[in-house]
Amino acid sequence: MTTDRNQILFERAQTRIPGGVNSPVRAFKAVGGTPRFIQRAQGAYMWDANGQRYTDYIGSWGPMILGHGHPDVLAAVQQAALEGFSFGAPTEREIELAEEIIKLVPSIDMVRLVSSGTEAGMSAIRLARGATGRKMILKFEGCYHGHADALLVKAGSGLATFGHPTSAGVPPEVAQHTLVLPYNDIEALEAAFHTHGNDLACLMIEPIAGNMNFVRASVPFMRRCRELCTQHGALLVFDEVMTGLRVGLGSAQGVYAQLIPGFEPDMTVLGKVIGGGMPLAAFGAKREVMRQLAPLGPVYQAGTLSGNPVATACGLATLKAVQQPGFYEALGAKTQALVQGLTEAAHAAGLPFCGDSQGGMFGFFFLPELPQNYATVMGTDGTRFNRFFHGMLERGHYFAPALYEAGFVSAAHTDADIATTVAAAREVFAQL
């Protein structure tokens, strides 16, 4: 009989919940071993069912940019909960949050709040199709936009091929209007627009792709995406569910606007940080596009819990805190120190290793140089990654349990936390 509470809970969970988890990556399938059942978290740390403490580098996969249990956020959530959980009628905080989002993301004139990134991405596609009167959508291999049917599609074998479903239960007919291209491939992009440009409702992209660990769209590639969308009347949709308010106050579009003068996407999908850990996401665009949405226009979209009062309170308090002067500078410096420390430690152990970061989001690879697309990411040494992951976990440092996932640092992480993690990594690298 084991006394490992994680193991006991995992076995119990598996009898009642498929795989024992409510989102697949939590099951540790890629890395093996027993998932940690988290009991509580505070600041930069979480504790599992055995009482073991971890420095948290997943931050609920992005939302917890302030760390866990930030006092201002807690107070806002407690107050909101006292006032009522959900009304199914409009509230003032929804306007406040919309105003805040529009202030922070100037490419957005109007915004609709929903409850998950999946819902936001799915609705954005419907709106793009409704607004343009076109069927076809373009996405890139390795980018994740939630699990809506039309978006669960992987690339075919050729360059500009239509994708096939990555999931059972998605009829090929549903995926047949989704064109999938390799990321950062300008030639394939131009060929696809040449053939299908005038049938495309939108091009959807993770500008810094955190669902293939950390891969930036190159500046020439992004510039071409913008030009081709404009030329052909397709909407450029930025999926910033992960990067929004995570890589900087200007989000990823702010990063590209600094490199490409006048750059703006047509539509933006947000989630994660804007909810501060509560179920909240959003999509927004220019007024004329958003006016196509019900009840103003013909594109239907709705939600019982959309704009939930407790979630908006959490999101507003989080967005207020990230606007403190110097917030992203400090967060970015700590994240950079982590990536640099890991890189130096790996190189000292003679391992191929590289990493990148922007704001509080980072990625690293057991590769000599940063990959530019999904195929290269998946060429990473999985065995080595898994041994690294478990070595770190045993030492109390919780990284994402899959090599294709990004990592996150919060404002609650201290320089000492980063240094302790790098010291642990040095030990682990030496054994690889």
CB of 238 to ligand PLP, least distance (A): 10
Distances in Å between the Cα of 257 and the Cα atoms of 175, 219, 264, 432 are 32, 10, 7, 41
Nearest to 266 by CA among 185, 204, 186: 204
Nearer to ligand PLP, 6 or 211 (CB): 211
Q: Would residue 144 show up in a list of annotated catalytic residues for this protein?
A: yes
Is residue 270 a contact partner of residue 281, using CB atoms and an 8 Å limit? Answer: yes
**Cis ω before 261 (30° cut-off from 0):** no
Tell whether residue 118 is a contact of ligand PLP (CB under 6 A): yes
DSSP state of 141: T
Task: Give the integer Cα–Cα distance in Å for 302 and 296.
Answer: 13
Choose one: 51-59, 183-191, 203-211, 345-353; the region binding ligand PLP (CB under 6 A).
Answer: 203-211
Tell whether residue 206 is a contact of ligand PLP (CB under 6 A): yes
Per-residue x/- marks for ligand PLP, 262-281, CB under 6 A?
A: ---------x---------x
Q: Which of 43, 165, 210, 371 binds ligand PLP (CB under 6 A)?
A: 210
Q: Would residue 272 show up in a list of annotated catalytic residues for this protein?
A: yes
CB of 278 to ligand PLP, least distance (A): 11
Choose one: 133-141, 215-223, 238-246, 393-401; the region binding ligand PLP (CB under 6 A).
Answer: 238-246
Tell whether residue 307 is a contact of ligand PLP (CB under 6 A): no
Task: Give the integer Cα–Cα distance in Å for 272 and 393.
Answer: 24
Task: Give the integer Cα–Cα distance in Å for 20 and 26.
Answer: 9
Task: Give the integer Cα–Cα distance in Å for 148 and 125.
Answer: 10
For residue 272, what are its two tokens?
Answer: 């994660």
For residue 186, what are its two tokens?
Answer: 């300008």
Q: Among the options 45, 57, 144, 328, which is catalytic? A: 144
Tell whether residue 116 is a contact of ligand PLP (CB under 6 A): yes
Residues 40-79 that bind ligand PLP (CB under 6 A): none
Alpha carbon distance, N-terminus to C-terminus of the chain: 32
**How many CB atoms sit inside 10 A of residue 415's CB?**
12
Q: Would residue 334 show up in a list of annotated catalytic residues for this protein?
A: no
CA geometry: angle 378, 30, 22, nearest 5 deg: 120
DSSP codes, 319-370: HHHHTSTTHHHHHHHHHHHHHHHHHHHHHHTT---EEEEETTEEEEESSSS-
CB of 151 to ligand PLP, least distance (A): 9
Choose one: 26-34, 85-93, 111-119, 329-337; the region binding ligand PLP (CB under 6 A).
Answer: 111-119
Tell whether residue 193 is a contact of ligand PLP (CB under 6 A): no
Tell whether residue 144 is a contact of ligand PLP (CB under 6 A): yes
CB of 307 to ligand PLP, least distance (A): 16
Q: What are φ and ψ of residue 269, in 5° steps? A: -110, 130
CB of 178 to ligand PLP, least distance (A): 15
Q: Which of 117, 277, 307, 363 binds ligand PLP (CB under 6 A)?
A: 117
Q: Which of 48, 56, 141, 239 binds ligand PLP (CB under 6 A)?
A: 239
Tell whether residue 253 is a contact of ligand PLP (CB under 6 A): no
Nearer to ligand PLP, 119 or 417 (CB): 119
Q: Footprint of ligand PLP on this chain (CB under 6 A)?
A: 116-118, 121, 144-146, 206, 210-211, 239, 241-242, 271, 281
**Active site (catalytic) residues:** 144, 239, 272
